[in-house]
Amino acid sequence: MATLVTGVAGFIGFHVAQRMLARGDDIVGIDCINDYYSVQLKQDRLAELERSSNRKLQFEQVDFAEHEALDKTLAKHDIDRIIHLGAQAGVRYSIEQPRAYVQSNLVGHLNLLEVARYRRSSHMVYASSSSVYGGNKTLPFSVDDRVDHPMSLYAATKKSDELMSETYAHLYRLPLTGLRFFTVYGPWGRPDMAMWIFTQKILAGEAPRFHLHR
């Protein structure tokens, strides 16, 4: 039985799949390859996975927010576990394109919960975000903190994902684990993140610009 990895062409999904393939796991990886950032970078990540997969990776290009297309695609595969890392990322972009976040992060997450429910998945791990802590002033952050005041639509969608997951875990006894990622960076990283933007400007001889919010 394979593990379904969503967002497999994304930064985190790529690295998770890489580690799993290295230990011999079978993976069904899905991604819609949208153009939020460089499509070429996503394709290069997939090519890197293919080179090292030893035929253990089966990739499908599909948008998991489209439930009929998702169900049709997954009908060809035996899946036991789910690692749901695909999402519309980026806090600032959620101000410009709010519907993209509702479609991918809310509708898409529900679709994966339904897959887990009907496939009777042994475990589903999904990506939440440290953004759910919002304006919380208590440090360090704790999973016991109240997270009722998200400061962006992105954070609100991730908090909603946690609530939906809690409901599904209760109703259907699904083993679900949400991970509140903080800033994740490294090789093959997302070019819209600050460290890459600053590095690119420095290499081009330009001064990085900082915006301070009070």
For the chain, counts of helices (H) and of strands (E): 8, 6
- Inter-axis angle of helices 67-74 and 108-119, to 10 degrees? 40
List the catalytic residue out of 36, 154, 168, 185. 154
Q: 104 is written with which tokens?
A: 């991918």
Report the alpha-carbon distance of residue 133 to residue 22 in Å, rounded.
Answer: 34
CA dihedral 27, 30, 35, 41 (to 10 degrees): 10
Peptide bond into 98 cis (omega under 30): no
Whether residue 154 lies in the annotated active site: yes
- Going through the chain in order, the beta strands assigned E by DSSP cover 2-6, 27-31, 57-61, 79-84, 123-129, 176-181
DSSP secondary structure string, 136-159?
Answer: ---SS--TTS-----SSHHHHHHH
- The residues annotated as belonging to the active site are 154
